[in-house]
Every structure is written in C-alpha cells, then in structure tokens.
C-alpha cells in the first residue's frame, strides 16, 4: 500500500471499486431477467476472483518491476480488454449486453467522481503527477458529474434524445482515453514522457492496481455497451429497469 496515504482515501477508492462492481452485477442481472440466461452468478464469481488476483499482485509488488520486458502490467489490462472485445464481437453476448438498461450503464460513471478525488490525494502524496488530476489536464471528472443528469433526464425520463446521449458517451470515451494515455506515459516505464519529477506509481500498489485492472475496463465497457445499444435501430427503446424491458419485450414479441 502507498505509505502515508490517509486510510480514508484508500477506503474511498475501495468504495469506488465496490460501487463499480455493484452497477455491473445489477446491469447483468437486469439483462438476465429479460433473456433468461443465467449469467450473473458466473460473472460475479469471475469478477471477484479477478479482483482478488489483482489485489494480491498489487500487494506483493509484482507490478513494481518497471523495466521488465514485456511490461508485467500488461497482465492487469490485457485480459479485461480481451473479454470486452470478445463480448462485443460475439453476437449472442452482444445481444445480451444490449438488454442492460441504459440507466444502469450510465449511473456507473458516477464512480469516476470518487476516483478523481482519490487521484488528487495521490498527487498530494507524490504518487502521481499533477497532470493526471483535475488540477492538470485530466477532465474525466466531467463525465462523473454529468452522468446523473444523463441517466435521469436521458435514460430514465427520456427528455434527452438518443443522439445527445450517444454524443455524451463518445465524448466521455475521449476523456477516458486522455487520462489513460497520460497515466501510461507518466509511469516509470522506459518510454515515460510526463511526470519525471513525480511519476505515476500509485497504480502499481494495492488497491490502486484495481483502477486499470477493473474500474477503467468497466467504464469503457459501459460506454461501448451504451453506444452499441443506442446505434442499434432494432433495439428496444431506452428503458429504466428490467421490469419495463420485460413488459415491452412481451408486448412486441
């Protein structure tokens, strides 16, 4: 764990991890109510095992070998990205994902507010450079602050049109990529470009290894799932919960 970091900041980050997991499990359960496919338990077990593995690797300092070739950190980011790609490319899985209510996919992004607060405190403890915070050029907190508005007025009330929600998701993917690229280039790898006086070392320590290994992939998945849902002309209208979705599917079936 990062030395001298206040315990409540670590607790806040763990809360963001649990919140992210909650929204993912909830969304999958809601889709399961529609499709009837028993997915939520296997997913929850796999997610918990993945979190446990990455926690152990972070705690034991496995990732703090910055000059290893290939970088050990690929073990944290490539598996979830491969899963996301597989889900989106496999038609039955993509169909299942499209049944996740847009509101659930959007509410998950509120966890980004907690993450940005944690990152700022990590900067104050010299664990990341300022460029990775909202005091630098990380604008990802905008996605977290606007997510409740999009979820409520767009996904739940239907006041915002689909194209507005789609545009929001695309912009927020850009915000996510911005901070991810900045974080990678600020880490003490051989190709480091930023933060030489105060590099990004926080993500190599438990529990912050779960940021690139779990939270970032979850955020990316929800954006891509929402974009797939919004661009599918044959999909159901924006729905607030699985009960509404089930009744709508029954009425159109």
pLDDT at 102: 96
State the maximum Cα–Cα separation within the chain, in Å, rounded to a whole number.
61
pLDDT at 5: 87
Q: Tell me the whole-structure pTM to 2 decimals.
A: 0.90
pLDDT at 42: 96
pLDDT at 119: 97
- Name which of 208, 185, 145 is nearest 14 in CA terms: 208
Q: What string of pLDDT tens digits covers the 253 residues of the chain?
A: 787 788 999 999 999 999 999 999 999 999 999 988 899 999 999 999 999 999 999 999 999 998 888 889 999 999 999 999 999 999 999 999 999 999 999 999 999 999 999 999 999 999 999 999 999 999 999 999 999 999 999 999 989 999 999 999 999 999 999 999 999 999 999 999 999 999 999 999 999 999 999 999 999 999 999 999 999 875 544 544 443 444 333 333 3
Alpha helices in the chain (DSSP H): 7-35, 40-59, 74-89, 91-98, 102-107, 111-124, 141-149, 162-186, 210, 216-231, 242-252
Q: How far apart are CA 114 and CA 12, in angstroms?
A: 7
pLDDT at 2: 81
- Name which of 149, 145, 109, 139 is nearest 20 in CA terms: 109
pLDDT at 4: 79
Which of the 8 DSSP states describes residue 213?
I
């Amino acid at each position: 764990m990062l030395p001298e970091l206040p315990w409540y900041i670590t607790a806040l980050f763990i809360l963001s991890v649990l919140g992210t997991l909650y929204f993912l499990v909830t969304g999958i359960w809601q889709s399961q109510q529609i499709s009837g496919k028993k997915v939520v338990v296997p997913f929850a077990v796999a997610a918990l095992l993945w979190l446990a593995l990455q926690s152990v690797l972070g705690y034991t300092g496995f990732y703090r070998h910055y000059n290893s070739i290939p970088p050990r950190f690929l073990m944290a980011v490539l598996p979830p990205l491969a899963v996301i790609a597989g889900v989106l490319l496999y038609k039955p899985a993509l169909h299942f994902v499209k049944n996740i209510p847009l509101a659930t996919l959007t509410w998950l992004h509120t966890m980004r507010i907690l993450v940005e607060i944690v990152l700022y405190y990590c900067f104050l403890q010299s664990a990341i450079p300022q460029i990775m915070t909202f005091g630098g050029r990380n604008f990802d907190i905008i996605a977290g602050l606007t997510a409740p508005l999009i979820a409520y007025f767009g996904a739940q009330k239907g006041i915002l049109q689909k194209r507005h929600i789609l545009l929001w998701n695309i912009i927020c993917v850009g915000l996510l990529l911005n901070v991810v690229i900045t974080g990678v280039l600020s880490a003490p790898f051989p190709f480091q470009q930023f933060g030489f006086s105060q590099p990004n070392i926080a993500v190599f320590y438990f529990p912050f290894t779960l940021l690139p290994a779990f939270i970032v992939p979850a955020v990316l998945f929800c954006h891509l799932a929402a974009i797939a849902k919004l661009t599918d002309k044959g999909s159901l209208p924006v729905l607030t919960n699985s009960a509404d979705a089930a009744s709508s599917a029954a009425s159109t079936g």
